[in-house]
Amino acid sequence: MVTEKTTAELFRHLTTSGVKIIDVRPVEAYNGWKLNNETRGGHIAGAKSLPVKWLKYIDWIEIVRRKNILPENEIVVYGYSSEETQEVAERFLKSGYEKVFVYNHFVDEWAVNPDLPMQKLERYKKLVSAEWVNQLISGRKPTEYENDNFVVAHAHYRNRDAYLSGHIPGAIDIDTNALEAEDTWNRRSPEELKKALEEHGITADTTVILYGKYMDPDNDDQFPGSAAGDIGAIRNAFIMLYAGVKDVRILNGGFQSWLDAGFETSFTDEIKKKAADFGASIPQKPELAVDTPEAKEMIAAPNAELVCVRSYPEYIGEVSGYNYIEAKGRIPGAVFADCGSDAYHMENYRNVDHTTREFHETAEIWINNGITPDKHLAFYCGTGWRGSEAWFNAWLMGWPRVSVYDGGWFEWSNDPKNPYETGVPEENLTPS
């Protein structure tokens, strides 16, 4: 058996350099959900999220190293059960980590003591688990839900086959084209949004749970975004919140989380039940969206940043990123917030199981790049999807003034009067 740490010993370790505290509970518990009736939700301050579920991945040790958990570190593993902590601790030992310990009193000693520091994601309730959704559609009352009116929506881009090939029971499908214009990719007009939301049975007071299906997007396809419904779901969430839907939630990990949980899959083409009226003027939250004139003001403002959520080849102008955008380059003055490999992937914002990345890691990367919560931030990409997902991360963290620059590179580059840059930015060049 691996040696166990006491609560007092672990508390002293919080300020000890080189000690890594590892939380092996589900990501939802790490974020703030009380999955074991603990007194306080969240995680031990400074802990890293490494769910026991990830042990099944062949590249587990690579995941660990990317989190900067190194063999020279002292490792303390904790979770809900001693069996799970022991299992993960033994994997560390087998992987060449020598200083490995377990802590088995998170629920009965740490979480009950308000003097012991914990952290949680500010808007953790907006990232729900497959179990939470299953309770909801089964007629039970899941925690942190007080409504009696909900819609579960499977998001896709012109790909109903993604929905018909298997979805959450009772879920309707929603094409991103219902909420964003096909010619500009920007959010639709208030009148169009009102009509579309009502047609999908959604009012301002409806709790909407969105998810998508990741289907290995390929840039050689005519419509690569049709395989990136996981990003499309968050794009829809942004537009719904902008419009005025008060309670919008994302199934963390998308349809993959539903499959991983082993719940039933439906192939029924559910009929949408139209709502009589949205119930509020649109938009209720116009500040969530930024258009080109304001984007230009933000570039020049000392207390604002335009944040580029694209791949590095797009950022330096090697590729446009899209088969329908010819212009290559970046908006001068924008801060780079690397999405991942291309326009249809968000690896740098996702875990291996497609759940949202540990929020401390995202915040640290942003802050090191000058993307800080004291500024007004407008996230953008090519057409709004990746920008919406980065925005969603900041919104979940409770950063006070975050928006999406809706037009993005597509709109910016379509106006020849707008400046652009290519190549490696001068500040990133190493002096010879």
Annotated catalytic sites, by residue? Answer: 381
Residue 285 phi, psi (nearest 5):
-130, 70
What is the torsional sign of CA 5, 8, 12, 14? positive
- Mention every residue, 6+ apart, whose C-beta is less than 8 A from residue 321: 310, 311, 313, 314, 342, 343, 382, 409
> Which residue in 292, 337, 333 sits closest to 311, CA to CA?
337
Q: How many CA atoms lie within 13 A of 63 on its CB side?
A: 23
Based on its alpha-carbon atoms, the radius of gyration of the chain, rounded to whole angstroms, reads 22
Determine the residue type at 106. F
Q: Give dist(CA 272, CA 274) in Å, integer.
A: 6
> Burial code of 400-429, b = ≥16 C-beta within 10 A, e = fewer?
eebbbbbbbbbbbbeeeeeeebeeeeeeee
* Bridge pairing between strands 335-336 and 304-308: parallel
Q: Give dist(CA 121, CA 132) in Å, integer.
A: 17
- Mention every residue, 6+ apart, whose C-beta is less than 8 A from residue 398: 122, 123
Q: Is the N-terminal amide bond of 419 cis, ω within 30° of 0?
A: no
- Mention every residue, 6+ apart, whose C-beta is less than 8 A from residue 293: none
Q: What length is written for the chain?
A: 432
Instruction: Describe the chain by its helix, strand, coil percentages, rounded to 5.
Output: 35, 15, 50
Residue 428 phi, psi (nearest 5):
-95, -5
SS (H, E, C) 212-268: ECECCCCCCCCCHHHHEHHHHHHHHHHHHHHHCCCEEEEECCHHHHHHHHCCCCECC
